[in-house]
Amino acid sequence: MAEIIDMPKLSDTMSVGTVVKWNIKEGQTVAFGDILAEIETDKATMELTCTVPGTVLKIYAAAGSQLPVGEPICAIGKKGEAAPEPKKAPAPKAAAPAIPESTGIPCIPEAPTSSNTPLATQSDGSRTKASPYARRMAEKAALNVAALSGTGPGGRVVGRDVTAATNAPAAAPAGPINVAVTPPADGKGIQPDADSPVSGMRATIARRLVESKNTVPHFYLEVEVDAAPLLALRETLNKRLAESAAEAGLKLSVNDFILKASAEALRRVPAVNASWAGTSIRQHSAVHLAFGVALEDGLVTPVIRDAHSKSLRDIAVDAKALIAKARSKKLSPAEMSGSTFTVTNLGMFGVTGFYGIINTPNAAILSVGATIKKPVVDAHDRVVIGQRMAIGLSGDHRVVDGANGAQFLQALKQILEEPTLILI
């Protein structure tokens, strides 16, 4: 008997998935373990493997289709068997809005309708009534309040309307926000006007960053590091690695040193290796380091597990393997979760300094800028050419105080300026 394959739930937060491409076609025979398709979740692109051997009778979802979990995507059965008629996944009932995940803030009850009700602007310039909580929920879910149908008093948009729009299967995308601008006077521009659909990854990035900035009290610190000793040690080690047949192909990056030094600095100042848990602060015994990898449609943060117990070489090997997986969209959700601290580096783009948005539930994120040559005053009060790197720290002030953050940066600076310490 034919079996219908549904859109699988490939991560704990996945509600919809996109069929990136099919590796099969109708009429093809497939065996257990064959790769049927590539599915984009809210975190990564993952392979869908065959668990039902047989003949592909029907493909219900074309490449590029975005479907909710549980929606039929293909049918497999015996050769010559008729493909079954798929049944649509039932639409979930609208429910009262839940407490936003990981915020630690109680749910705000809906306020009664009043003349002070916030209004959302529609594309035609008119205004839509919406409760403050509904507006915050919609912003977190990257939805346009003005495009939602309100079920509150007087057609007002309330929390349950946002929940229904977020969870509804195969729901029509929210109406576009009015971003119209005046065309160029000469009729030419830098590129054609165009609207690109928001990918699952981009939507998740938008939701998490809005949540982080709106719920986490960020504070910022910066320190300037003398990068000359680090660069000299890196050059020496890479020469040795190039001469070693056993280490052929391994080349240490500046970021590898930053990651290793961060793990060592967290060992010295463990208060930064923590998370806000609402009614408590969770101190982590292990250092699980996340680091940013830029992709075409966003940024992913793979995690190096137990970085506190790994050598510089081990961290470099792990980082390169995770970067390769990220660029080929093969990272699993497990490889992008469970971090305790995050490092993001824009130095390769020539950015000299910046501050990242905290990757919750981490208590801090380290931002690394480019190494630049500049005049500096040495220990003998002489003005010489120095190589300086600006490193910023964004901290969650609920967990980390300014003094803790400063102690961490002080430890990191010492390690980077005496980099042989990380080889011990």
pLDDT of residue 125: 40
Q: Please calculate the CA angle 338-343-345 and round it to the nearest 5 degrees.
A: 145
**pLDDT-derived band of residue 88, with 50, 70 and 90 as boundaries?**
low
Enumerate residues 6+ apart whose C-beta is below 8 A from 165: 141, 143, 148, 171, 174
DSSP-assigned beta bridge partners for residue 5: 74
Active site residue 397: yes
Quick check: 163 and 137 in contact, CB under 8 A? yes
pLDDT of residue 113: 35
Strands (DSSP E) contained in 45-156 are 45-49, 54-59, 66-68, 72-77, 119-121, 127-129
**pLDDT-derived band of residue 193, with 50, 70 and 90 as boundaries?**
confident
DSSP 61: S
pLDDT of residue 52: 87
Distance, in Å, from the CA atom of 30 to the CA atom of 61, rounded to the nearest integer, reads 18
How many Cβ atoms are within 10 Å of 123's Cβ, its own excluded? Answer: 14
Enumerate residues 6+ apart whose C-beta is below 8 A from 399: 274, 275, 276, 281, 363
* Amino acid making up residue 322: L
**pLDDT-derived band of residue 117, with 50, 70 and 90 as boundaries?**
very low
pLDDT of residue 14: 78
Asked if pLDDT for residue 99 goes beyond 60, the answer is no
Asked if pLDDT for residue 187 goes beyond 90, the answer is no
Can you give the residue ranges of every domain in the chain? 3-77, 99-181+199-215, 217-423
3-77: which CATH number, 3.30.9.60, 2.60.40.10, 3.40.710.10, 2.40.50.100?
Answer: 2.40.50.100
Tell me whether strands 364-377 and 383-396 are parallel, antiparallel or unpaired: antiparallel
217-231, pLDDT tens digit by residue?
999 999 999 999 999
Burial environment of residue 305 by CB neighbours within 10 A (0 to 12, 13 to 18, 19 or more): middle
Alpha helix ranges (H) inside 62-179:
132-140, 159-167
**pLDDT-derived band of residue 347, with 50, 70 and 90 as boundaries?**
very high
Please tell me if the domain spanning 3-77 has the same topology as the one spanning 217-423.
no
**pLDDT-derived band of residue 235, with 50, 70 and 90 as boundaries?**
very high
Q: Which two tokens stand for residue 292?
A: 């940013």
Mean per-residue pLDDT for 9-22? 83
First to last CA, the chain: 63
Distance, in Å, from the CA atom of 423 to the CA atom of 313, rounded to the nearest integer, reads 9
3-state secondary structure of 398: coil
CATH T-level assignment (fold) for domain 217-423:
Chloramphenicol Acetyltransferase (3.30.559)
Distances (CA, A) of 411 to 263, 324, 366, 370: 11, 31, 13, 20
**pLDDT-derived band of residue 128, with 50, 70 and 90 as boundaries?**
low
From 284, 308, 380, 397, active-site residue: 397
Quick check: 311 and 257 in contact, CB under 8 A? no
